[in-house]
Amino acid sequence: MHYAFVFPGQGSQYVGMGKELADNFASAKEVFQEVNDALSQDLFKLMIEGPEHELTLTSNAQPALMAHSMAVVRILEKDFGINLKDYASFVAGHSLGEYSAACAAGVFSLTDTAKLLRTRGDAMQKAVPVGLGGMAAVIGVSYQDVVALAEACSQNGKYVCVAANDNADGQVVLSGHIEAIEKAVEIASEFGAKRCIKLPVSAPFHSPLMKPAAEVMATALSAVKANKPTIPLISNIKASAATDEKEIVKNLITQVTGSVRWRETVDYMAEQGIENSAELGAGKVLTGIINRAKKGITSVAVGSPAEIEELAKNLKN
């Protein structure tokens, strides 16, 4: 059975995340405490109690989502005797989820991953002053047409506007200067889009405007011990697998300003014979994308005790 384990990105967080896991498994509590200690903050309290606007802040949401994902991984290992490397052909994650994937594959320790994501969240937020950048989802048109739309909105290089997240057929996210994003919302229908919706984010993620954040992450990653992955990791920017820790680190730096090639990541998994995928952590965004892609991969979301138990049973059969 060829499995890929995938890890969610920002937007999948919710107030109450992780509570059911901590209530049922001491191993999950250990993960949440380790992340709290790494950040010198009671992040777990914020995860289960909110307020939502504070949890949604990039610097909190990124380590919180990773913590939830790694609690699922730890429960599988400690409570069900499931080590991912014995079942996985690949790991992959959407944006910050690539750090969760790297942690699950043993590239970084849990403590280092939490600190890296706090640094990443802070750096991405500070890279562009609030109000100057934005993002918009373009629905119902091809990636190539969204690239053409982005070029039309950049006004001969006056503004930055790029296709930042190629999530699925007919679902691409633009990122760049707010003037360009507002222009895209206005003219997207001329490029065949069914809808173009401005997203409630405070920065133009995965665009060249994030260059200051990429520089911060290059410094932060150089100071952390990276190990050879126990499972090949499919990177966002290359949509192919890496097995060398230096390449994984390089990809994570480039990822800050580069596109998230998730549609091609799903294609790559299918080409490599993947038949089953499990999204470990909060929400089911990636599961929905993978199943709708109809590439012969069956994906399930695994974030609750019952879902973890069901996955463990299926893996052992």
CATH number at residue 219: 3.40.366.10
- Indicate if the pLDDT at residue 33 is higher than 70: yes
Res. 102: pLDDT tops 80: yes
pLDDT tens readout for residues 34-55 = 999 999 999 999 999 999 999 9
Residues 95 and 178 in one domain: no
Same domain, 59 and 175: no
Choose one of 202, 232, 260: the last residue of a domain.
202
Q: Are residues 49 and 190 in the same domain?
A: no
Which of 179, 202, 225 is the last residue before a domain boundary?
202
Q: Which one of the listed residues 154, 206, 207, 277 is annotated catalytic?
A: 206
Active-site residue identified among 12, 27, 59, 95: 95
3 state SS of 12 = coil
CB 38, CB 115: distance < 8 Å: yes
Residues 260 and 161 in one domain: no
Q: How many domains does the structure of the chain reveal?
A: 2
Map residue 81 onto helix, strand or coil: coil
Kindly tell me if the per-residue pLDDT of 202 is higher than 80. no
303, 95, 84, 64: CA torsion to nearest 10: -40
Active site includes 95? yes
For residue 93, the enclosing domain spans: 3-127+209-316
Identify whether residues 159 and 181 lie together within a single domain.
Answer: yes
**The last residue of a domain, from among 174, 202, 230:** 202
Q: What is the pLDDT of residue 201?
A: 82
Q: What is the CATH classification number for the domain harbouring 173?
A: 3.30.70.250
Tokens (6 digits) for 229: 């992955």
Q: Does one domain contain both 67 and 178?
A: no
- Taken as a whole, the chain contains a residue count of 317
226 shares a domain with 109: yes
Contact at 8 Å (CB) between 167 and 266? Answer: no
Q: What is the mean pLDDT of residues 95-112?
A: 98
CB 185 within 8 A of CB 139: no
pTM: 0.96
Q: Do residues 118 and 139 share a domain?
A: no
Q: Do 50 and 116 share a domain, yes or no?
A: yes
Same domain, 154 and 91: no
Say whether 206 is catalytic: yes
Residue 275 burial (10 A CB sphere; 0-12, 13-18, 19+): middle
Instruction: Order the strands of the 133-139 sheet from edge to edge.
Output: 161-168, 171-177, 133-139, 195-198
Residue range 204-208: mean pLDDT, rounded: 96
State the average pLDDT for the chain: 96
Closest to 38 measured CA to CA, from 111, 117, 119, 113: 111
Local structure of 212: helix, strand or coil = helix
Q: What is the pLDDT of residues 253-306, one digit of tens each?
A: 999 999 999 999 999 999 999 999 999 999 999 999 999 999 999 999 999 999
Residue 1 clears pLDDT 70, i.e. is over it: no
Same domain, 103 and 247: yes
Residues 143 and 213 in one domain: no
The four Cα atoms 312, 301, 253, 130 give a dihedral, to 10 degrees, of -150
